[in-house]
Amino acid sequence: MGFLSQINLVEILSSFIVLFVIIDVTGSIPIFLSLKSGDKNIKAGQACLVALLMFVGFFYAGDRLLDLFSVDVASFAVAGSFVIFILALEMVLGFDIIKYDSQGSNVSVVPVAFPLLAGPGALTALLSLRADYSVINIMLGLILNLILAYVVIRFVGKIEKWLGKDFIFILRKFFGVILLALAVKLFASNLTIVIAELAK
């Protein structure tokens, strides 16, 4: 019961939204379509499983990595908020800094699992969320995102026809603005903790 009592729908929804806008699986639909062209093959299940393993591994090993550099989670969250802020600006302004490419016929691991799903921004956000939310709620938010990613990748052609390119474009901009607000909130809430620690 103690474990289940930690479940909080607001935290699950918040975690889901943060990861959703950073992973931006809907915004990656054009990339998925491009990768599936010709003889390339995306295995949705494999891609999502590899991404999940990367997320969980970084989530639990990230603290030890931070300890090596004497950095606490709150400080990492502040730094992470800058990364999230830049990613949000990228979404709103339409800047594509990273170009994803692959020469292999099976692109499920690279670049789909990494870096499209479990990219640096999403990994940073996942660890940053630990400063504000319970582990169980973050993990549930992550799993929901990967389930959605599986559906999008599996039926990417039908989804593009159903939603339309214009709607996907608008959705990307809308969630980019939300992500900007979440980045500011993450920065403000953790900056006070960092300042308090430095003042001791």
- Angstrom distance (rounded) from CA 93 to CA 100: 19
- Angstrom distance (rounded) from CA 151 to CA 147: 6
Q: Is the dihedral of CA 178, 179, 183, 185 positive or negative?
A: positive
Q: Which residues contact 64 (CB under 8 A, 6 or more apart)?
A: none
Q: Which residues contact 107 (CB under 8 A, 6 or more apart)?
A: 35, 40, 41, 42
Q: Mapping DSSP to helix (H, G, I), strand (E, B) and coil, where does residue 28 land?
A: coil
Which runs of consecutive H residues, i.e. helices, occur in the chain? 9-23, 29-35, 44-68, 73-93, 120-128, 135-154, 156-163, 165-199
What amino acid is encoded at 114 in this protein? F
Q: What is the pLDDT of residue 145?
A: 97
Q: What is the pLDDT of residue 39?
A: 58
Q: What is the pTM of this model?
A: 0.72
pLDDT in single tens digits along all 200 residues of the chain:
566 778 999 999 999 998 998 888 887 787 777 667 655 678 999 999 999 999 999 898 877 877 888 877 778 778 777 877 876 787 788 765 545 455 555 678 877 887 779 876 788 888 888 888 999 999 999 999 999 999 999 998 888 788 787 887 787 788 778 778 877 887 888 888 888 877 77
From residue 80, how far is each of 60, 90, 94, 165, 173 by CA, in Å?
Answer: 17, 15, 21, 30, 21
